[in-house]
Structure 1
């Protein structure tokens, strides 16, 4: 894994208030690249303590110590995508991934540090009961999208109207998600730093500080 953040003008970094770090594939390092994520978070927090950082990660092969190392780096939002329902895992995802493994990663990220915000995403055409599962491990945010890049990819069976996307957003929030982004152009990092999520991070940080005092 190589994480590169370039600013032509150093002053530009001071204007950034929310950053999403991710990797294009699984890492062959023993910790799955968790250490790189963690050190990058620490470096950015050192440069700008009030910057908010989200990491969209793999499942680190189910290594919960790797999950914990990242969570305790100063991270604000831990994101890992479930992608699809359990029944379609082997068809859609890397064979090294697993539905229960993904849930265990999200659950551990949530519970090994008080106030950690967790986030997951699914592809709409691979939807159904997967909407509910992250809720069982206290995941706060959810994004839902629809996309078929080429004929070699899974077929989109139905054109989903904006009204239907809106109804799923409403349903997701009604069953307990604090935030749902649902739309045909939504991706896992879609408007990640928008006001609601940033406010939620700040609220939790403020509450934690009050308890510590």
Structure 2
């Protein structure tokens, strides 16, 4: 078993602040990807009073071998009260920026697009000044469903690429590399006022050249924001870590990404899709776009 290097050690959080966030989540019966996916930054984010909300879950219809979200349970029918409960959590936590993600719901005809829209509307109703980022699945290539989400005008549309094309069959067997790029491309075409974002994880056997190719592919579809982080094995039944990448390499990718024209590149061993996501508000001030209300 590969031993984690020093740069992957996480400081113990102050549990008083963490407990406050947990109390809100339990009181409103909400799921977070922080908990369901065993994120290493959960202590830091909860201590800072933030969380990434996981809707339509926690059971997922896909079984990606890197992910710790449960796929063995049968997904439940959509909960009509979930959008209001999520919005109330945003209000109580006084979030300036909220990230809403979901499990894959391939059992639904729209992949859950309508639930995303309801959550966006509920947050806007209770917290009109909170910026909204949605981290969506690929919707099985249902571009009408994608348009439904974008018509709700989230400030950020995030969809993770996860890995290099060569490793997709092993890492993301029910996904499709070209479909992911197509989703991001269409998002910019449908809603040019929305910032597009994607993330990749490293340490699964990819090469530096392959990572740079993914970055070039994402810029070719005009992706604005990129996150790069180290893959960590959630349990013995998940994919093993092939290599722990040194922080200097992440810095090199960050520089390369900025040279390619990404508006923002967040790259470090502990970076995750929603890590310090609120920084996008600063990006919006530097690179403003007119949002079209629909």
Give distance in 1, aligned partners of 2:232 and 2:127: 39
| 2:154 aligned counterpart, secondary structure | coil
Matched, 1:60 2:107: no
1:164/1:35 Cα in 2 relative to 1: closer, same or farther (>3 Å)? Answer: same
| 1:208 aligned counterpart, secondary structure | coil
> Of 135, 144, 147, which residue of structure 1 is paired with 2:219?
135
Matched, 1:180 2:265: yes
2:115 equivalent in structure 1: 36
1:161 equivalent in structure 2: 246
2:35 equivalent in structure 1: none
Runs of 4+ residues deviating >6 angstroms: none
Task: Compare 130-139 and 159-168 and name the one that shifted more.
Answer: 159-168
| 1:32 aligned counterpart, secondary structure | coil
Give how far 1:61 is off: 0.5
Give distance in 1, aligned partners of 2:124 and 2:109: 25
After superposition, the C-alpha distances for 1:128-167 in whole angstroms (9 at most, x for unaligned) are 2212211111111111111232344333333322222111
Matched, 1:199 2:278: no
Give distance in 1, aligned partners of 2:285 and 2:260: 23
1:84 equivalent in structure 2: 163
Q: What is the root-mean-square deviation of aligned Cα atoms in Å?
A: 2.4
Matched, 1:120 2:120: no
After superposition, the C-alpha distances for 1:55-92 in whole angstroms (9 at most, x for unaligned) are 10101111111111111102110000111111111111
Give distance in 2, aligned partners of 1:157 and 1:11: 42
TM-score by length of structure 2 reads 0.64
Give distance in 1, aligned partners of 2:163 and 2:283: 26
Give how far 1:170 is off: 1.0
Give distance in 1, aligned partners of 2:281 and 2:128: 15
TM-score by length of structure 1 reads 0.86
> Of 154, 161, 180, which residue of structure 2 is paired with 1:75?
154
Give distance in 1, aligned partners of 2:245 and 2:122: 42
Kept in 1, the 8 Å contact 2:159–2:197? The answer is yes
| 2:199 aligned counterpart, secondary structure | strand
2:290 equivalent in structure 1: 208
1:12 equivalent in structure 2: 92
